[in-house]
Amino acid sequence: MITQVKPEPWPDYELLDTGNGEKLERFGKFILRRPEPQAIWPSALPESEWEKMSDAIFNRSKSNAESGNWVLKPGMKEKWICRYQRDKIQIQYKLSLSSFKHVGIFPEQAANWDFMCLELARISKLIGAAPKVLNLFAYTGIASVIARATGAQVSHLDAVKQVVGWSRENMEASGLDGIRWIVDDALKFVKREERRGSKYHCIILDPPAYGRGPDGEKWILEEKLSELLSSCAALLEKENYCLILNLYSMGLSPLIALNLVNTYFPKAENSAGELYMEDLHGRKLPLGIFARCIG
C-alpha cells in the first residue's frame, strides 16, 4: 500500500511558508529561513515578510553548495531547547545551527515517531515486557529518546561520536537514562549482532544517501541497503515486531521501498509512502519516503 503521510502538529514546530527554493519554519520561539530545493513554487508571503519574520537566515556557500553560514538577528541563539509532546510522551531536545543548514531535527519524522509509539505499546502488551529497540543512523536521537520515554530498551547507533553525544544531551534534558550508546558502522554492527543471535522487537533505519563510518567505511545507499535489510530481517523477532525505514535519496520512490520490505519481510503487514509537511498556506512539501513493517 502506498500512502502520503504528514505528522500531527505539536506546539514547538510550524512550517510557516515555502517557495522560491526555501522554507520558513518556527522552532520554539525562533523562526528560521533555510534552503529547500523541492519548494520550486512561489512563496505565499512576500519577500518583505520573510525578511521581517526570520530570526536566522542560512546562506549557501558559493564554493560548496552543501555548506554555508547563518546570519543571525539580535536575540537569536545558536543553541536552544524545544519540546515534543504527544499524549503522555513529553521530551526535550537541543537544536543547534550547523554549517550544513540542519538544526538537529527533521520534523516530518514525527509521523514515524507516532507510528513507533503505537507499535511499541502494542508489542509491550503482547509480550508483557519492555520491547527492545535498535535505532540505526540515529542522528541526534529524538526517536531513541521517545522510544525510551515509552519504557522500551533502546540501543542507539550512529557513526559520528559528536551526534551520539548530542543524543545523550537530549536524553538527559528529558529526564531519562538507560539508552545504550554505540558509535559504529551500521552494517558492520548488524552483521555482528546477527552472528551473536541478538533479537529486537523494533528497528528504525534512517540511512543517508552517502556517508562514512567511524573508520572511514564507505556507505552508498543503493549498494548497501539491500544487504542491511537482510541482516535486519534476521535480527527482528519472528512475531510481535515492527520496522521503520526512512529514505531521503531523491532518486528513490515509495515503490522501491515497498519492494524492499516485501522481499525481506514477506509475512509482515507492509506499507510505504511519502512523508510531507503542509505549510500554513496549504502547500504540501515532500520530505522523503518511508516503509513500515508490522509483524
Which CATH number belongs to the domain containing residue 250 in this structure? Answer: 3.40.50.150
> Is 43 domain-assigned?
no
Please, which pLDDT band fits residue 248 given cuts at 50, 70 and 90? confident
| pTM beyond cutoff 0.75 | yes
In a domain? residue 218: yes
pLDDT score at 219: 60
Q: Using an 8 Å Cβ cutoff, are 291 and 270 in contact?
A: yes
Q: How far apart are CA 180 and CA 222, in angstroms?
A: 29
Q: How many domains does the chain have?
A: 1
- Cβ proximity of 235 and 295 under 8 Å: no
Distance, in Å, from the CA atom of 146 to the CA atom of 127, rounded to the nearest integer, reads 20
> How many of the other CB atoms lie within 10 Å of CB of 54?
22
Q: What average pLDDT does the segment 108-122 reach?
A: 97
Is the pLDDT at 66 greater than 90, yes or no? no
How far, in Å, CA of 245 to CA of 292, rounded? 6
Identify whether 208 is part of a domain. yes
pLDDT of residue 31: 98
Quickly count helices (H) and strands (E) in the chain. 7, 17
- Is 54 part of a structural domain of the chain? no
Asked whether residue 20 is assigned to any structural domain, the reply reads no
Contacts of 212 (CB under 8 A, 6+ apart): 159, 218, 219
pLDDT of 113: 98
5 within a domain of the structure (yes/no): no
Residue 223 lies in a domain: yes
- Residue 174 CA to residue 158 CA, distance in Å, equals 20
Instruction: For residue 111, tell me if it sits in a domain.
Output: yes
Range of the domain at 199: 105-294
| Cα–Cα distance measured from residue 116 to residue 136, given in angstroms and rounded to the nearest whole number | 14
